[in-house]
Structure 1
Amino acid sequence: MNTPQIPYQGIWPALLTPLTADLAIDIPSFARHACSLIDAGCTGVTPFGTTGEGPSFSVAERIAAVDGLIAGGVPAGRILVSTSCAALPDAVELTRHATQAGAFGSLLLPPFFLKGVSDQGVIDAYRWVIDQVADPRLRIVLYHIPQVSGVPLSHHVIETLKTLYPKTIIGIKDSSGQREGSLAFAKAFMPPLQVWVGNEPDLQVMAARGSVGAVSGVANVLPHLLQRLVGQFDGPDAARDLQRVKDFIGILGGYGVTAAFKGIMAILTQDPGWRRVRPPLVALTDAEYQHLVAQMNAFALDPSKD
């Protein structure tokens, strides 16, 4: 914790979730991947978000995997656990476990099955989780990804929760991909909250406004580059770094994003098991994978710089 105004900073990769042949979580590989990212300079890791297929796993699976990360060498205080679930009791159980395990905090969507709910309904849902956990150590990053969840976070919702729980609500992860909306969040709430964006091409713009970190899927593969986009947003390589990110995202855009990320991990690690995804996602076909190999060869990833 750096200052009261900046409760967290740096790059937190939105962890990909490796699977075994029977599509269970491969916890040893999960921990190794997380440790490698922290060794590469990332502040922490975020398991079970959108990139990590979080809603596809049960409460028991997610608890066991977080415990496995810690047992595998990931410091608990460097884990920001996505505890989002459609059912509030499940969100409470995951959030309570993360807090009691000593995790840095919880990344939390509003309940996302029912659509068209009112601001008051969203507020009530967050209050229910926070009040049920009832732990002064609890820290929550609000997760805004309306194109996926179907339930947006309005300024009114955020302001109300921030006022009710000033020591609990510490930030907003805005993965809407709408730069103007991200800047509006920053203007309204930063500081004391931090606003992180999930759209990596916006990291430099947000860093110039005072954002000091990101939960990023791209950081699974390009951790050094993402750190520079935030920490050296006006540095001599800023334009090159931004273009590099755009080129990488362009590769991902030709496939299902999570399947493509996992295909790239299979290429980098020479472990074909990384290609597995849990339904309803579909893994890359062999033809798609070979095309991705060619694209990544052309991209010429440099692990020491990217």
Structure 2
Amino acid sequence: MSSSPRITGVMAAGLTAFNDDLSVDTDLTLEHTAWLLEKGCDGVLLFGTTGEANSLSVDERLSFLDKLGASSLPKDKLMIGTGCCALPDTVALTKKSLEIGIEHVLMLPPFYYKNPSDEGLFTHFARTFETVGSDAMKVYLYHFPQMSAVPFSHDLIGRLLKEFPDTICGVKDSSGDFENMKAMAEKFPGFDVFAGTERYLLDVLKAGGVGTITATGNVTVGGCAKVYSAWKAGSADAEALQDQLTRERLTLQNYPAAAALKELLARNSGKASWRKVRAPFMPLPAEKATSLVAELDAVDFALAA
């Protein structure tokens, strides 16, 4: 059975660092993950969209997970993106995650074939869970229809919860549709709803959700943590802190996420290798980098030192 509590609160969807040959820079990626936890994250998701998971081979991800398992990072505060188009790939990554002591996994739907039926999606997940065969895994659904083109309907979520109540734990809703987040929190008690953007962090918490899993949390971690702490304390400061966080998020979302976030980390750390991304992503052009910094300065953004 499961041995660690569910993660709630602020989670960053961590970035993947690359070497000059675009192989995964494991050391820098792990260093950044530790930094995020130190600066206020309650957990870190690895191999999400902005972590460029779908630009990595399954072998690369398995190799990284072996090294992650050997690290001193707290495994109960980590989540791994394991959802792939091919069921055997999802199974292999999920089994490896469990093997190294990480029970929280985020699963995309099988996204290549468009307009699948709920029956087809249910069958995919049922077979995945049965093949993995673990009572310990905590599965979070990754609802990102703008990217995957395969949404999770409420009927499908309800059926999965009924059939796998000890496995299905929650959702990362990156649709940008707050009403959907609110509806899931209301309809499915005990189903942990994470906003896919810190823009809705406070609203989701008020609606009964549990926090945010956000790409821009790589740089807004400090502000996210302040909002969450204020909300938990019942402080009136939560609204003003959320307003500031929202201004920062709205500024950042005008730029390509991976490239912009890596640019900011490169500047903050002095490590130019942070600018490396895998095609089709491209580094942020110099003029865009200049405008990004200027726009963030205008909204009083400060990256945690």
> Could you tell me the TM-score, scaled by structure 2's length?
0.92
CA contact (8 A) 2:215 2:257 kept: no
Secondary structure class of the residue paired with 2:45:
coil
Corresponding residue for 2:276? 276
* Runs of at least 5 residues in structure 1 that lack an aligned partner in the other structure: none
Listed one character per residue, the Cα deviations across residues 98-137 of structure 1 (whole Å, up to 9, x for unaligned) are 1121103110011000001100011011112111101111
Corresponding position of 1:30: 29
Matched residue SS, 2:264: helix
Counterpart residue type for residue 271 of structure 1: K
**C-alpha contact 1:11 1:43 (8 A) present in aligned 2:** yes
**What is the one-letter code of the residue matched to 2:199?**
P
2:85 aligned partner: 86
Q: Deviations over 1:61-111 (max 9, x none)?
A: 112222333433212222110002111111110011111211031100110
Moved more, 178-187 or 58-67: 58-67
Q: Is the 1:28–1:72 Cα contact (8 Å) retained in structure 2?
A: no
C-alpha distance in structure 2 between counterparts of 1:282 and 1:80, whole Å: 26
Q: Deviations over 1:143-174 (max 9, x none)?
A: 11111110010111111111111111111111
Q: Is the 8 A contact 1:28 1:68 kept in 2?
A: no
Alignment partner of 1:65: what SS? helix
Partner of 1:196: helix, strand, or coil?
strand
Report the Cα distance in structure 2 between the residues aligned to 1:226 and 1:67, rounded to whole angstroms. Answer: 30
Q: Does 1:168 align with 2:167?
A: yes
1:243 counterpart letter in structure 2: D
Question: Counterpart of 1:41?
Answer: 40
Letter aligned with residue 228 of structure 2: V
User: Cα distance, 1:208 vs. partner?
Assistant: 1.1
Deviant stretches of 4+, over 6 Å: none
1:126-145 residue pairs with structure 2 within 5 A? Answer: 126-145=125-144
Looking at structure 2, the residues matched to 54 and 194 of structure 1 have their Cα atoms a distance apart, in angstroms, of 23
Q: Which moved more, 1:36-45 or 1:143-152?
A: 36-45
Distance across 2 between alignment mates of 1:104 and 1:224: 26
Question: Which stretch has the larger CA shift, 94-103 or 227-236?
Answer: 227-236
Aligned partner of residue 207 in structure 1, secondary structure: helix
Q: What is the aligned residue count?
A: 300
SS in 2 for 1:235: coil
Contact 2:14 2:45 survives alignment (8 Å): yes
- In the TM superposition, 1:143-292 aligns within 5 A as 143-189=142-188, 191-233=189-231, 235-292=235-292
Cα distance change on mapping 1:29 and 1:299 into 2, 3 Å = farther
Q: How large is the Cα RMSD of the aligned pairs?
A: 1.9
Structure 1: which amino acid aligns with 2:172? K
For the residue of structure 2 that corresponds to 1:45, the secondary structure is strand
Letter in 2 for 1:239: E
Identity %: 34
Gap change, CA 1:147 and 1:181, over 3 Å in 2: same
Deviations 1:206-247 (A, max 9, x none): 111222222121221121211233342353332332222222
Distance 2:97 2:121 in 1: 22
Q: TM-score, normalised by structure 1?
A: 0.92
Partners of 1:296 and 1:195 lie apart in 2 by: 29
Q: What residue is the counterpart of 1:12 in the other structure?
A: 11
CA contact (8 A) 2:277 2:283 kept: yes
| Distance in 2, Cα, partners of 1:67 & 1:229 | 34
Amino acid at match of 2:116: V
CA shift, 1:198, in A, is 0.5
SS of 1:215 mapped into structure 2: strand
Q: Which amino acid aligns with 1:237?
A: D
Counterpart-to-counterpart distance in 1, 2:268 and 2:91: 36
CA contact (8 A) 2:144 2:173 kept: yes
Quick one: which amino acid aligns to residue 282 of structure 1?
Answer: M
**Displacement after TM superposition at 1:141 (Å):** 0.6
The alpha-carbon deviation at position 303 of structure 1 amounts to 4.7
